[in-house]
């Protein structure tokens, strides 16, 4: 269901919107709706998967091992 929305924006943007809508043969409402849908998609794309959400913060409060220490431990386990 569509609803009416009133916006207060700079006059130069209104003029541009009218020109652009004529050039592209789209209504200003359609242009605005496409823009908002694009923002919505960007927001949804940055949400984490269920597995990532479960793992998020799992190491919080724990010391993260130094890269060199991790390599040393790996090689000790691999070659012994």
**For the chain, which residues make up each domain, given as ranges?**
11-79
In the block, which residue shows the tokens 């009218």?
18
By percentage, how much of the chain surpasses pLDDT 70? 96
Determine the pLDDT at residue 35: 94
Judged against a pLDDT cut of 90, whether residue 43 lies above it is answered with no
Residue 45's pLDDT band (cuts 50, 70, 90): low
- Dmax over CA atoms of the chain, in Å, equals 74
Q: Average pLDDT of 42-71?
A: 80
Q: Average pLDDT of 58-79?
A: 84
Q: Average pLDDT of 11-35?
A: 96
CA distances to 39, 67, 68 from 73, rounded to whole Å, are 45, 10, 9
């Amino acid at each position: 269901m569509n609803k009416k929305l009133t916006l207060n924006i700079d006059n130069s943007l209104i003029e541009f919107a009218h020109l652009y809508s004529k050039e592209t043969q789209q209504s200003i409402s359609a242009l605005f709706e496409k823009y908002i849908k694009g923002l919505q998609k960007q927001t949804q794309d940055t949400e984490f998967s269920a597995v990532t959400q479960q793992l998020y913060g799992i190491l919080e409060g724990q010391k993260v091992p130094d890269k060199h220490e991790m390599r040393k431990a790996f090689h000790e386990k691999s070659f012994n």
